[in-house]
Amino acid sequence: MRLLLVEDDVTLGPQLRASLQQAGYAVDLSTDGVDAEGLGDIEPYDLVILDLGLPKRPGLEVLANWRRRGNKVPVVVLTARGSWQEKVEGFKAGADDYIGKPFQVEELLARVGAVLKRSQGVVVGPLTVHGVTLDEATQSLIGENGRQESLTGTEYRLLRYFMLNPDQLISKSRLAEHVYDYDSDKDSNVLEVYINRLRQKIGPELIQTKRGQGYVFSSKES
């Protein structure tokens, strides 16, 4: 899943980006409201973590502008100002969740994961299909027999995106946009290699190829 982190603090921003990447997300970092608003309109992010106290354009204005233009990207608001009035303003502007500074990274990760699942219509909890469970804490697979198998970072991001979007036709370009960050080389041929590796680990029947169109991750029993 691909996130936009909007945080102007020169220390906190890179630290949060590193923590989110370690948790298996592709992350772009923006440090001002104008740049963030443009990225949020152009790039297909799965979620935005948005600080309110931004230079050039306040976070609430950025959020309100997105919603006015019909941009429904899920947003977790991040701010040092924790009054209930500002929380209400954030929710009225279209925020999906709210976390006040200071906070533990674990709490932010939990809230991000929950909002992502709700936004995809997935029940909050472990991602499980056909007896295969994705352990998001260890970024590994747990089979029906309880055996745990490790995944590479790209394999994990791919499988999580598939499991959050079951039974949907997903093109190679869409996969690349949601698995890699802005600066990555989005090579569709490399994606094929990782998808084949996933098939070896979870079985070939779960990821179906639609020739010339993309892939479908099947949640239905055959």
User: What pLDDT was estimated at residue 81?
Assistant: 64
Contact, 81 vs 100, CB < 8 A? yes
Contact, 6 vs 184, CB < 8 A? no
User: What pLDDT was estimated at residue 82?
Assistant: 62
User: What pLDDT was estimated at residue 40?
Assistant: 97
* 145 or 157, higher pLDDT: 157
Stretch 124-153: mean pLDDT: 85
39 — pLDDT class (breaks 50, 70, 90)? very high
Whether 185 has a pLDDT exceeding 70, the answer reads no
Give helix 153-164 / helix 172-179 axis angle, nearest 10°: 120
User: What pLDDT was estimated at residue 212?
Assistant: 87
- Which tens digits make up the pLDDT trace of 22-36? 999 999 999 999 999
Task: For the beta carbon of residue 84, count every other beta carbon within 10 angstroms.
Answer: 7
Task: For the beta carbon of residue 206, count every other beta carbon within 10 angstroms.
Answer: 21
3-state helix, strand, coil in the chain (%, to 5): 40, 20, 40
CA–CA separation, 206 and 202 (whole Å):
7
Amino acid, single-letter form, for residue 90: G
User: What pLDDT was estimated at residue 121?
Assistant: 80
User: What pLDDT was estimated at residue 112?
Assistant: 96
Q: Are strands 127-129 and 132-135 parallel, antiparallel or unpaired?
A: antiparallel
Whether 172 has a pLDDT exceeding 70, the answer reads yes
Contact, 166 vs 218, CB < 8 A? yes
User: What pLDDT was estimated at residue 64?
Assistant: 96
How many CA atoms lie less than 13 Å away from 146 in the CB half-sphere?
A: 0
* 83 or 173, higher pLDDT: 173
User: What pLDDT was estimated at residue 59?
Assistant: 94
Q: What domains appear along the chain, each with residue ranges and CATH number? A: 2-119 (3.40.50.2300), 127-217 (1.10.10.10)
Contact, 164 vs 127, CB < 8 A? yes
Helix or strand holding residue 26 (H, E): strand 26-30
- Which tens digits make up the pLDDT trace of 85-117? 778 888 999 999 999 888 999 999 999 999 998
Strand arrangement of the beta sheet that strand 169-170 belongs to: 169-170, 214-217, 207-210
43 — pLDDT class (breaks 50, 70, 90)? very high
Task: For the beta carbon of residue 81, count every other beta carbon within 10 angstroms.
Answer: 11
Helix or strand holding residue 85 (H, E): helix 84-93
CA–CA separation, 70 and 26 (whole Å):
24
Whether 84 has a pLDDT exceeding 80, the answer reads no
Whether 128 has a pLDDT exceeding 90, the answer reads no
How many CA atoms lie less than 13 Å away from 86 in the CB half-sphere?
A: 17
- Which tens digits make up the pLDDT trace of 1-24? 999 999 999 999 999 999 999 999
Whether 176 has a pLDDT exceeding 70, the answer reads yes
